[in-house]
Amino acid sequence: MGRLELLPAVDMQGGQAVQLVQGVAGSQKVFGEPLAAARRWQAAGAKWLHLVDLDQAFGRGSNALIAAEIVAELDINVELTGGIRDDASLERAFATGCKRVNIGTAAVEKPEWAASVLKEYGERVAIALDVKDGKLATRGWVQTADDLDLALERLNQAGCQCFVVTDVNSDGMLRGPNIELLKHVCARTDAQVVASGGISSLADLASLANLTRIGVRGAIIGTALYLGNFTLEEALGLGGDYGD
């Protein structure tokens, strides 16, 4: 088994920690205050937190103050994503003190801006490839746009060092990660790849760890943790180096 970073997710909506099914608004299960969830994952041994502002992603508000509070409270790395589409939202995200931001929609809709951001910030910016039926999903996954391979080629040329790859059809469904999609992306980039969507069991994590040899560096875990399919301590106990 290779070395795999684990990133427990805290998805924020209306000031609460939630988990959606396939990113569909209204499908959420609510799991209390985001800060409490973040503290729980830190206490369990996480070295990274994947923090998502769903309201900003859907263009209906912001949880920026909560995000800033979480980053200030934690002693671990925070990756922040959701609705980061221009200089102003990028500056607000970095102002929280987060270690890394993920850009999704803007990488498709504003390729020149995304390229300039990658050039300026390097490894502090990851590109979120949210894939739905072979196309990139944007605007909170309610629209589809670029062909995946064309986007990968463009973003490789722009110098992207990390892709966060989500199979939208698997997200929140607990039916296992899309291994073929991850292999497809890894074969087309030298950048690090973080897997997201569908993780349901420790066996799924072991399968992803087997992909570290081809470029999968990390795994974002959400619903399975919140529903108690396994604990973060059990996942970390599989072994490996989960980031610093």
Q: Which residues does the annotation mark as catalytic?
A: 11, 130
Which residue has tokens 């110098």?
A: 159
Residues whose CB falls within 8 Å of the CB of residue 40, separated by 6 or more in sequence, listed in order: none
Distance of CA 227 to the CA centre of its chain: 19
What the block records as the tokens of 173 is 């469904």
Label residues 68-97 b or e (16+ Cβ within 10 Å = b). Answer: bebbeebebbbbbbbbbbeeebbebbbebe
Pairing of strands 135-138, 143-147: antiparallel
Phi, psi (degrees; rounded to nearest 5) at 180: -65, -40
CA dist., res. 114 & res. 86, Å (int)? 9
CA dist., res. 107 & res. 28, Å (int)? 26
The helix/strand/coil state of 145 is strand
Residues whose CB falls within 8 Å of the CB of residue 131, separated by 6 or more in sequence, listed in order: 137, 148, 165, 166, 167, 168, 178, 181
